[in-house]
Amino acid sequence: MKCGVLAYYLREWRLLQLWSTACVLPLLLLWFLVPESPRWLIATRRWGRLGRVLRTAERLNGKRIPGWLVVPSSREEEEEWEEGQKQKKVNLQE
């Protein structure tokens, strides 16, 4: 709707393109301030970054992450975590 109104007043397509780009540019600059999704960090096994993102979320929200949500800090804990995830999948499929 807004693009149509803008196109009505800006008859030249180059000016319309410039204004459209100028509206999106601040959003692209904010891209670097938004953290990755915790779900994606778990899927890619980036545990260190996941811990930092979760601690930041705790601080900003004023809440605590539940105790059952464990972020592996060593290789042994990661293997245990993966084994638990496999057991959950097996139990859900049965």
In 10 A of CB 81, how many CB atoms? Answer: 16
Distance CA 31, CA 20 (A): 18
Residue with tokens 């995830």: 85
DSSP 34: S
Taking the model in full, what pTM does it have?
Answer: 0.53
Element (H, E) at 8: helix 2-9
pLDDT at 49: 87
| pLDDT tens, position by position, 42-63 | 888 888 888 888 888 889 999 8
Instruction: Give the pLDDT mean for 75-90.
Output: 68
Residue 36: the pLDDT is 86
What would the two tokens of residue 55 be? 């601690």
Can you state the angle between helices 2-9 and 13-30, rounded to 10 degrees? 140
